[in-house]
Chain A
């Protein structure tokens, strides 16, 4: 079965500290992986995506993610968080075709401690 697991419901980090948000997936074919961010009252914005090539991908706002096939993981990282990074983060997996459905994790809410 296809699924995405984000094991951390809520994480709090201090401003300036490093961040890692975990994501594990189950997908039968070659996965197309995404991280989205949602600020309060807003829609979802794509942070980064991975389909093939270099397993370390760079995204917007200083985020990066590393694809590890052996661990079925696609963890999101940022070296130094800013107060404006407080939001909800969603990991998602799908196929490459435009007809493919995308499956979302339940999200991780990030709070920033001043």
Chain B
């Protein structure tokens, strides 16, 4: 079972560049989430989508945009990357209760 798939796994960007992180789930879950993980800070919610067609801000939304393309896919876009956005990004999905996570995207902004 694929579960939650994130692409790419690694990316290096220059300051000011843009990029989209992709996430897809095959569990027919309604809800999808984007987190960033930084040392000593656990996971912080960037944006989430409770159902297809809806998106809401999380704890740290500044500098990011999201699109819930359909029930399966939820993308995260950095319009103008900044060094402070260097992090590991995780996508998750939920059908109620626990969330299921992808393996993460390691993003470095130079």
Q: Which residues of A contact B (CB under 8 A)?
A: 9, 32, 34, 36, 42-46, 49, 51, 90, 96-99, 101-102, 104-107
Residues of B within 8 A of A98 (CB): 29-31, 50, 94-97
17 A-B contacts (beta carbon < 8 Å):
A9-B40, A34-B98, A42-B103, A43-B103, A44-B43, A44-B90, A46-B98, A49-B97, A51-B97, A97-B96, A98-B30, A98-B50, A98-B97, A99-B31, A101-B45, A105-B42, A106-B40
Please report which residues of chain B, range 62-106, place their CB below 8 angstroms from some CB of chain A when the two chains form the complex: 90, 92, 94-104
Tell me whether chain A's interface is mostly helix, strand or loop, or mixed: loop
Q: In the complex where A42-B103, A90-B42, A106-B41 touch, is A101 in contact with B96 (Cβ < 8 A)? A: no
CA–CA, A98 and B51, complex, Å? 9
Contact B48 A44 (CB under 8 A): no
Q: Which residues of B contact A (CB under 8 A)?
A: 4, 29-31, 33, 35, 40-43, 45, 48, 50-51, 58, 90, 92, 94-104
Residues of A within 8 A of B103 (CB): 42-43
Contact A104 B43 (CB under 8 A): yes
Q: Which residue of B lies closest to A48 (CB)?
A: B98
Contact B42 A101 (CB under 8 A): no
Q: Which residue of B lies closest to A106 (CB)?
A: B42
